[in-house]
Amino acid sequence: MALVAIIVLIGGITRLTGSGLSMVDWKPILGSIPPLSSDDWAMAFNAYKQSPEYIKINAGMTLNQFKFIFFWEYLHRMIGRCIGLIAVVPFLYFLVKKQLSATFARRWLIIISLIGCQGLMGWFMVKSGLVDNPHVSHFRLAAHLSLAFLIFSLILKDYLRIVFPIKSKPSGLIWAVTGVLGLQIVYGAFTAGLHAGKYYTTYPTMGGQWFPDSALMLPGGALNNFLNNPIAIQWVHRWLAVAVVVGAVLVWQQCKKSQNIQYQYAGLLLIVCVGFQFLLGIATLVSMVWVPVALAHQFGALALLSSMVVVGHLHHPVTPS
């Protein structure tokens, strides 16, 4: 869980520093060896110079500047490989030793498969920025981030099964709020992918309007605007945040009525996380997406989702598993 949280943060740094397209190939094995000599660096830099990002955005970049963006993307990929090894090697060891239950083995195989898919999704995302347009697809970015959050949530759920060995039964309200939160995370990725947070930096209105005229400026109707227009996407992200806050307050009220002290504390954790995340979202806007605040906001989304997983696990325990 710690490594997944770290890679989410490193992914945010990679995105905010424009480092994601610095490695123009994907070599799962040989790619683990970084450039070690001057010739190696020259070869990597020359390969980058053929990319649309260098030609259209970073022409004239120095080798030292390239090394900076290369470092973040390289670190991101290495942590991903490390997560894969740590997920697979101990699993195989304990499986051979027959120390894993069949249900746990099945669940962990799903997690391992998702980690493998995440590596492929990462390259699929990067490829979208290596053809003509030097920007990755915000749809692929959203899929990449959402899959990371899903993997983290599944591992956390397994951890909670060990710490709190109960059968949980999340309420319809918890499922609904989790669904809205999931949609909000997707729109957060859309916002990052299209740099939508930099268009309007006032809150609560957008340039003095509650719904700016420019939110529907693209042809193709409302659906196209809400999927591709950065201004409409920022508007949706703002108001989904309000919906998440309202939903979290309702879940907290549900938690307070429970006789289960652990469930009550889970509700408090949720309300603290949603409060901080809402304030971080506003701070990200008004600071014009200042990197430290934006990173805290991305990590806050992971913390908020985690608190929802905890609440869902502790709701209405039935019988020991």
Q: Both 291 and 206 in a single domain? A: yes
The pLDDT, as a whole number, for residue 304 is 97
pLDDT of residue 168: 78
Q: What's the predicted TM-score (pTM) here?
A: 0.92
pLDDT tens digits, one per residue of 294-311: 999 999 999 999 999 999
Report the domain count for the chain: 2
Amino acid at 225: N
pLDDT in tens, 69-117: 999 999 999 999 999 999 999 999 999 999 999 999 999 999 999 999 9
- Mean pLDDT (the chain) is 92
Query: Region 207-231: what's the mean pLDDT?
Result: 94
Domain final residue pick, 107, 136, 162: 162
| Percent residues over pLDDT 70 in the chain | 98
Two tokens, residue 304: 């908020």
| pLDDT at residue 30 in the model | 67
User: With pLDDT > 90 as the criterion, what percentage of the chain qualifies?
Assistant: 82
Q: Report CA-CA distances (Å) from 180 to 4, 139, 183, 241.
A: 22, 18, 5, 9
pLDDT category at 320 given cuts 50, 70, 90 is very low
- The amino acid at residue 171 is S
- 144 and 168 fall within a common domain: no
Q: How far apart are CA 154 and CA 225, in angstroms?
A: 33
CA 124 vs. chain centroid, Å, equals 16
- Is there a single domain that holds both residue 203 and residue 96? no
In this predicted structure, what is the pLDDT of residue 319? Answer: 44
Owning domain of residue 72: 1-162
156, 18: one domain? yes
Please give the DSSP secondary-structure letter assigned to residue 218: S
Q: Identify whether the C-beta of residue 137 lies closer than 8 Å to the C-beta of residue 192.
A: no
Boundary-marking domain end, from 108, 128, 162: 162
Place of tokens 């290495």: 78
pLDDT of residue 169: 82
* Euclidean distance between CA atoms 7 and 149, whole angstroms: 11
Question: By the 8 A CB rule, do 16 and 299 touch?
Answer: no
What would the pLDDT profile of 109-151 be if each residue is shown by its tens digit? 999 999 999 999 999 999 888 888 888 899 999 999 999 999 9
Write down the pLDDT at residue 165: 87
Q: Are residues 281 and 295 in the same domain?
A: yes
Looking at the DSSP bridge assignments, the partners of residue 166 are: 320
CB 318 within 8 A of CB 167: yes
